A = this chain, B = another copy of it.
């Protein structure tokens, strides 16, 4: 019944990284675990990856001495494995004679950078988002996982419609959703599931409480699942019974703004254009101050990754990018509404990965 996912392979990724690094340095140290997973297939919780122009070395600890070689072989990573307690010393050896080393300045701590400055005479070059831009363009095997993660959520939300009635608590709904995700084969939720009813919906990042749904509530449900390391992300806003006139109105505005944002997505445009399209519709309707967050973000191995979709984003959308479009309106003490789809950028526009119906009445 469950279709086998195509195998994840990392072939070619390190060469793409080398081509970018070459403009800045002779070698690169990768410490972000999601980026290491993308480069090598390794899923452990502690590693350092040394990438020189000729070879690459994954340094991890004794807990992973059998797992690391197995995972690298399965992903067809052409990378050595070293087990070490003091990874920087081993990394310095693996680097050999290099003059400039790129470090991920947006990931590596200042303390680690200081340790590197002590350990080597090479110049340390700070990089920002270098690997994240490569990771943003998903291949077919990655898309298959994100699509599966999104479909599992679509099914779970459909299955649990009967719980969307007065009396169900936010916590019951969140737990039931997470149980469905797991039963359908997801590793778990992709992030902390949000179920926020009535006034609680006014907090964009509310945590589920024991408040029962009441007739007239709008209920914001923001839920994703995790499949083989890849994440999905979706929000729908449901009504319990008949929503108030205000509730109906903000849901109409948000639904329209979201659809317009989705329609704007295509390769070659600036991500901030998508934000601006959504924001101007909400502002024109008089709720500009009530849309208090960015319009979206990339999704993949991390739940928030490149490209950011907000007013200050400098990202240009590309075919293969996976991103959310999720405008919202939040009215303190009254409630909130957010509508969110996960999209993949295609040759001429975008394709939704989340397909749950959007309730409007």
Closest partner residue, chain B, to A182 (CB atom): B175
Specify the chain B residue showing the minimal Cβ separation from A189.
Answer: B188
Which A40-98 residues have C-beta < 8 A from chain B? 43-45, 61-67, 85
Binds B, one of A104-112, A248-256, A277-285, A346-354: A104-112
Q: Map CB proximity to B onto A166-210 as digits: 1 under 8 Å, 0 otherwise.
A: 000000000100110011000110001000000000111111000
Q: Which residues of B contact A182 (CB under 8 A)?
A: 175, 178-179
The SS class assigned to the A binding surface is: loop
Contact A67 B109 (CB under 8 A): no
Could you give, for residues 202-226 of chain A, a 1 whenever the CB lies within 8 Å of some chain B CB and a 0 otherwise? 1111110000000000000000000
- A22 within 8 Å of B (CB atoms): no
Q: What is the CB-to-nearest-CB distance from A302 to chain B, in angstroms, rounded to a whole number?
A: 13
A202 to chain B, nearest CB (A): 6
A108/B109 in contact, CB under 8 A: yes
* A118 CB–B CB distance under 8 Å: no
Q: How far is the CA of A117 from the CA of B66 in the complex (A)?
A: 43
Given known contacts A110-B113, A128-B111, is B179 in contact with A63 (CB within 8 Å)?
no
The answer to whether B66 touches A332 (Cβ under 8 A) is: yes
Please indicate which of the listed interface residues A63, A128, A293 has the most CB atoms of chain B within 10 Å of its own CB.
Answer: A63
> Are B292's CB and A63's CB within 8 A?
yes
Cβ of A207: which chain B residues have Cβ within 8 Å of it? 43, 187
A69 to chain B, nearest CB (A): 11
CB-based closest 9 A-B pairs: A62-B292, A105-B111, A110-B113, A63-B204, A105-B110, A106-B111, A175-B182, A66-B332, A63-B293
A–B complex contacts, Cβ < 8 Å, 5 sampled: A67-B206, A105-B110, A110-B110, A110-B113, A114-B126
